[in-house]
Structure 1
């Protein structure tokens, strides 16, 4: 029955461990039993108790299913713990939400007494003086796009940032895995469009700054971050790395999708992994200013030893980015250099965790700023899917 409140951090993977001692057999909801979600205080020396008001999140009460059965049991308290069962009744969130009326007065029935005594009607009634709910759920489909700059040396050479070592991930792979494994859980279907920029494509050697890493321009989506990483490594075997490095095509690519989803149902996160060189600074600034009014955020991870002055300018933490005299409506860019997070002991897992924490830290505020300025409020959670023939129930 006891609830534990934990601080939730968007940008971190939070592993929970529970140690407990079993004193009594634990029940299972798979066989349609009930789960206790609340116990009231004891009211002594009265046959007409009035319990204090209490709050239960809808998720804890019925897991968001407004029609799920909620059972209320009433007991006569005994000091020795052998509480006498008075009776029970059933309701649902939908019934309770009707408010104070004749609908929220329930007969407390003892099934055994009802069978044994023909004149038995009930063991009393329970009425709800007030029932109200506060919507706190916010259902948002984060759509994550991944863009990888391929301009940096021969991937067959150990000096290249794209070098595929048989022993560990390269810098691009570590950055992609670190950020992707956290943010992928915010995407409903975990299918990510992955694009590359800065390469000559087969068979004619055409230079592209917006090509599908999986080689399928009609369907650039990859299954999970593992699918993105596989497409990235496969592309290194088929394309020729080539400059210049242009950011604006991939930013505009995602912005086109974001422009068609302004109702708050989707929010787009663009992850760009780059060596820091940028050839179209003016166009990139204009693209970011245009994207700042869309449901979209841009994460840039810089890898390698290059100077990242241009990336810092795009970040806009200190000075809001502008283009042609027009200032960005809000800050949507977060940049971090991966080298600042390399653990000195060589612990890559720790390096990746630190990177993900900082690079994702601004996403919640950027998301909220878009929703608030447009007056978009959270929607109630839809009822969860319940497999046929497996009713789930809740007990108060």
Structure 2
């Protein structure tokens, strides 16, 4: 997907020097890369804003992004010095995945000296360009006696804010000195930036009197659209108003749209709530049981099945529904339910919602993890076996895979609480194909996952076999359906991902494929990572075995093919999830929720991340990376 990055800053340090006024800040954005992962690249610089420590830059930066491939951008702010070297005002690094997963797709970083940089990402909707020329006539003077205003104009687009709609500046012209009938230079403006490609979308034109101290005086404004500007070309005047009174006229001398095929046809956006097209809960599966090590027998009768087992039991599931198996808990938690296909008709919607649209609207990604504890993994006390816990704290391959995938998906999960399951081990002489790993039904963050995994070997577990996924798949499919239903009741959206880690092929690949097809209408993606050196050729069958009428929700990846690089693993592992997520929601007529802009005081402020990066400013205006621009991959890999 293609994204665009916008920036602003607050309370920057004034580095202009004594008796030299206020700094003139601009920002340079550089895409930095992991060591050995290519060359860092300068994406560009913002415009310079004179005499301010609180700049709102209108320049945006576009780049490509894929889920699973970390992208970091360094933002360096400078005070422009016309005769000499630009002065650094501070810097910060933003991880694009974190911006995507943040509320409002916005985050802030406090810089070391002082000041805060705010960064926001949006989907870039390349829909052609607008070539615009305008002039003012008899604008009302905002200066005093014997002086005339220095007019410039801004174009603002409408966005959703925390308290409703708000206007966001996306273009700013140069000012025309001492002139009440200014003719501004023609500009070429990206329609994706100006109006998300929708030429009927409202835009605001504001005219200001330029002031040297940066506190520009509003001369007047009017609301229109790209279509409105095109219709006004060469014709009637557009009246600007200030405080409800006429304050001048604007004439459109040029308004030409290029790069759009059907200029006169506009697709009507259809608003679809979950409504009658949402998946029905009537045939949803009962939550299958995951055995919970260490649970007290008989606790279910006292506190309820969910409390006794730590298993997730959605409110729509009757109390008798099987729950996650807990060693020592009441027996009889082995049954699984079928996840029925929804009978909802396919949606009729215009446009093609994307993964970005859903996560921007707040769709939460819920990760569940299932780990293979069959005997073929080897004795975990012996070095070289797959579950071996190295005394030096280094990660085994199971832990590496979990850490890499969680590191990406955690950015889209606000609470970062994860259910962890195991399969293929005996408790009390009975082979359990779905048991709870850890002391509770959900653990906190990556540290909670690793601690739960390492602690399971102290619960009386006996590694056994065979390798069976079906019970885990049914359990998580039921959980996924319940999570989305619960989210819908709150006006939200949720999608689940099951990460299965195994050291070998499943015992019955055809039965497993049938189970995946059976749950393929759930809001769920299944990612299977093969760990170790076994023959995984049969596992590829699961990736390709969806039947007519079902949907492809499974992906198989062999760890050893990507063990050299965590980014390679996550890119391969998460490659299909965006299309699977959008496929589920659009099949059921569930459109993305509206993205909302956060109020400035609500945006979480992080700490500056050090980056070794120096830039060379050429005399021709070009900026290049002088040195640095790399970051080290996670030390835990």
1:171 aligns with 2:397: yes
SS in 2 for 1:21: strand
1:138 aligns with 2:361: yes
Which of 367-376 and 250-259 deviates more? 367-376
The residue aligned with 1:237 is 458
Deviations 1:362-387 (A, max 9, x none): 11111122222222211113563665
Which of 295-304 and 363-372 deviates more? 363-372
CA distance in 2, matches of 1:269, 1:11: 14
Deviations 1:90-120 (A, max 9, x none): 99xxx999xx9xxxx97436xxxxxxxxxxx
The residue aligned with 2:473 is 251
SS in 1 for 2:72: coil
1:342 aligns with 2:563: yes
SS in 2 for 1:183: helix
SS in 2 for 1:180: helix
Task: Measure how far apart 1:88 and its partner are.
Answer: 2.5
Maintained 8 Å contact 1:215/1:235: no
SS in 1 for 2:61: coil
Task: Measure how far apart 1:84 and its partner are.
Answer: 4.5
Deviations 1:272-318 (A, max 9, x none): 011123224343222201111111100000000111123111011xx
* C-alpha spacing 1:363/1:90, structure 2 compared with 1 (3 Å): farther
* C-alpha spacing 1:176/1:67, structure 2 compared with 1 (3 Å): same
Greater strand percent: which structure?
2
CA distance in 2, matches of 1:13, 1:79: 49
Where do 5+ consecutive residues of structure 1 fail to align? 110-120, 344-350, 389-396
The residue aligned with 1:181 is 407
1:215 aligns with 2:430: no
The residue aligned with 1:312 is 540
The residue aligned with 1:367 is 581
Q: 1:358 aligns with which of 563, 566, 572?
A: 572
Greater helix percent: which structure?
1
The residue aligned with 2:67 is 10
Where do 5+ consecutive residues of structure 2 fail to align? 1-56, 82-86, 91-107, 111-115, 121-130, 141-150, 180-207, 229-238, 253-267, 270-352, 603-637
Alignment length, in residue pairs? 341
After superposition, the CA RMSD in angstroms is 4.6
CA distance in 2, matches of 1:156, 1:368: 43
The residue aligned with 1:87 is 217
Maintained 8 Å contact 1:199/1:209: yes
CA distance in 1, matches of 2:109, 2:422: 47
* C-alpha spacing 1:56/1:7, structure 2 compared with 1 (3 Å): farther
CA distance in 1, matches of 2:587, 2:167: 39
Name the TM-score, length of structure 2 as normaliser: 0.46
1:303 aligns with 2:531: yes
Q: Larger RCO: Structure 1 or Structure 2 (Cα < 8 Å, ≥ 6 residues apart)?
A: 1
Maintained 8 Å contact 2:153/2:172: no
The residue aligned with 1:21 is 78
The residue aligned with 2:422 is 196
The residue aligned with 2:379 is 154
1:78 aligns with 2:182: no
The residue aligned with 2:242 is 108
Task: Measure how far apart 1:122 and its partner are.
Answer: 6.4
Which of 172-181 and 369-378 deviates more? 369-378
Maintained 8 Å contact 1:65/1:382: no
Maintained 8 Å contact 1:147/1:250: yes
Task: Measure how far apart 1:70 and its partner are.
Answer: 7.3
Which of 351-360 and 17-26 deviates more? 17-26
Task: Measure how far apart 1:125 and its partner are.
Answer: 6.5
* C-alpha spacing 1:55/1:314, structure 2 compared with 1 (3 Å): farther
Maintained 8 Å contact 2:372/2:503: yes
Maintained 8 Å contact 2:378/2:387: yes
Name the TM-score, length of structure 1 as normaliser: 0.71
The residue aligned with 1:294 is 522
Which of 68-77 and 258-267 deviates more? 68-77
Deviations 1:58-102 (A, max 9, x none): 2xxx7565266879999963189x9645832899xxx999xx9xx
Task: Measure how far apart 1:150 and its partner are.
Answer: 1.4
Maintained 8 Å contact 1:65/1:383: no
Maintained 8 Å contact 1:247/1:280: no
